[in-house]
Amino acid sequence: MNILQFCVFALCFCLMKARLYKIFQTENVVLNEITTLHIEVPNMERPVTWRCGTRKYECDNVCYKGAEFRVTQSGNSSSLWIGKVTKDLLDWTFHDNNYNIGKFDLKANGPTKVEAYEIIQNENGALSVSATLQVEIPNMKRPTVWKYNNYKYECDRTCANSPEYRVTQDGDISTFWIRNVTKERLTWKFEDDNLESSKFDLKIHSSTRTEIYKITQNGPVALGGSVTLHIEVAGMKRIVGWKNDYGRYECDMTCYNRSNHEVTQNGNSSKLLIRNVTKQDLTWYFCDFYLCSGNYSLKIKDETTNGPRPRIPVYAVVILSLLGFVVILLIICFFIYRYNPCNMRETFVTYYTSCIEHWRHRNVIYRPPKT
């Protein structure tokens, strides 16, 4: 047997021994998303290798496990996990040490587009207020994720629950609550573990936070008077509070009612009663569980609406009159003494002497006799 015959025989032997098997995908394939390829062949033997172009990932003594690719092999089955499918990762081949081969062309199978589901939005629809998005998908599977660019909030074993963003997932329904809608984050995307997804642009109308959280006052007030502030918001939820730079007064389990301030909350309505308005009570804002209003400045009575000025008490008038009389008398005495000192002194000395003599006379007359 010459060399040519030997080569032909060896090639035929290899072709007869090698068998081609089908690789199948375990889930929908979407560009820029994860997927898993799987193959089952009889008598699979390590090392097993997955190839795409110059890339090679295998299981021999250990299996490759990286951030973007992972290979597993157990018995007659092997899987390749791809963290992000790109256009350069569409053609894959598999082979093991037993000449078993598998081929898979993602282009032929077509990276599928997931079915679009409708996301609905609550009625607020304004900048700087809260918004709630909700989506319902059959057979929803955790983790469920709401994304904006690199920001994501999800439900897996636990659900995102921060002051600004909250996610809940109940059966086939996922809800995403945003505390404060901004112009920078209006487009959100939803995904679940079945790679079902949907995209949503927040619908914003012309209402502002001030129009939705609008504070009213029962009437103009003067310093020292009483006033009531009122607000009504759909879906109001405790904790509710009235706040300014000098204090905060809330309704939670109980409502604040001390000193000059009293807070009440009933359904979608809340009130703040101020019994004695001071300069520290001139500006307020309101917050409930979801959001805060803008600042509200009290309407203060001007001079024409303040009414008559308070009268000075009678006793104060009498005291002031007496003090004035004494002051005038002292001034008169001062001038008499200054411009006629001799007469003043003589008069004073005469008066003083007569007083002494009178006292002595009384003392002599009424002094009891010695025994």
In a domain, 207, yes or no: no
Query: Would you say 284 and 248 are in contact if contact means Cβ atoms under 8 Å apart?
Result: no
In a domain, 4, yes or no: no
Lowest mean pLDDT among 2-11, 154-163, 246-255: 2-11
pLDDT at 190 over 60: yes
Q: What is the pLDDT of residue 125?
A: 60
Neighbours of 243 (CB within 10 A): 18
pLDDT at 50 over 80: yes
Own/partner long-range contacts of 247-250 (Cβ < 8 Å, ≥24 apart): 247/280
User: What integer is the mean pLDDT of 357-371?
Assistant: 59
In this structure, the answer to whether residues 187 and 138 fall within a common structural domain is yes
Torsion angle, alpha carbons of 136, 140, 143, 149, to 10: -40
pLDDT at 56 over 80: yes
Query: Would you say 188 and 200 are in contact if contact means Cβ atoms under 8 Å apart?
Result: yes
In this structure, the answer to whether residues 227 and 295 fall within a common structural domain is yes
In a domain, 114, yes or no: no
- When mean pLDDT is compared over 251-265, 276-290, 344-358, the highest value belongs to 251-265
Query: Would you say 142 and 169 are in contact if contact means Cβ atoms under 8 Å apart?
Result: yes
- Maximal C-alpha separation, the chain: 179
Lowest mean pLDDT among 108-117, 163-172, 247-256: 108-117
Give the integer Cα–Cα distance in Å for 205 and 125: 6
pLDDT in tens, 133-159: 888 888 888 889 999 888 899 999 999
In this structure, what DSSP letter does residue 123 have?
S
In a domain, 196, yes or no: yes
Give the integer Cα–Cα distance in Å for 271 and 294: 16
Q: Is 105 helix (H, G, I), strand (E, B) or coil?
A: strand
E-strand stretches of 66-117: 69-74, 77-82, 91-95, 100-105
Q: What is the pLDDT of residue 283?
A: 94
In this structure, the answer to whether residues 232 and 290 fall within a common structural domain is yes
pLDDT at 251 over 90: yes
Task: Return the percentage of the chain with pLDDT > 70, whole number.
Answer: 69
Rg of the chain over Cα atoms, rounded to whole angstroms, equals 47
In this structure, the answer to whether residues 64 and 123 fall within a common structural domain is no
In a domain, 360, yes or no: no
Counting Cα atoms < 13 Å in the Cβ hemisphere of 239 gives 9
Domain stop point among 170, 201, 232: 201
In a domain, 244, yes or no: yes
pLDDT at 23 over 60: yes
| Angle, alpha carbons 299-305-307 (nearest 5°) | 130
In a domain, 267, yes or no: yes
Domain count, the chain: 4
Give the integer Cα–Cα distance in Å for 270 and 188: 33
Give the integer Cα–Cα distance in Å for 144 and 131: 19
Provide the terminal-to-terminal Cα distance of the chain, rounded to the nearest Å. 179
pLDDT at 88 over 90: no
User: What integer is the mean pLDDT of 341-360?
Assistant: 62
In this structure, the answer to whether residues 101 and 134 fall within a common structural domain is no
Q: What is the pLDDT of residue 11?
A: 43
pLDDT at 280 over 70: yes
Give the integer Cα–Cα distance in Å for 76 and 258: 76
Give the integer Cα–Cα distance in Å for 37 and 92: 9
pLDDT at 212 over 60: yes
Q: Of the candidates 180, 244, 187, which has an alpha carbon nearest to the alpha carbon of residue 212?
A: 180
Domain stop point among 166, 201, 236: 201
Element (H, E) at 158: none
Give the domain extent around 125: 119-201
In a domain, 250, yes or no: yes
Which CATH number fits the domain that encloses residue 266? Answer: 2.60.40.10
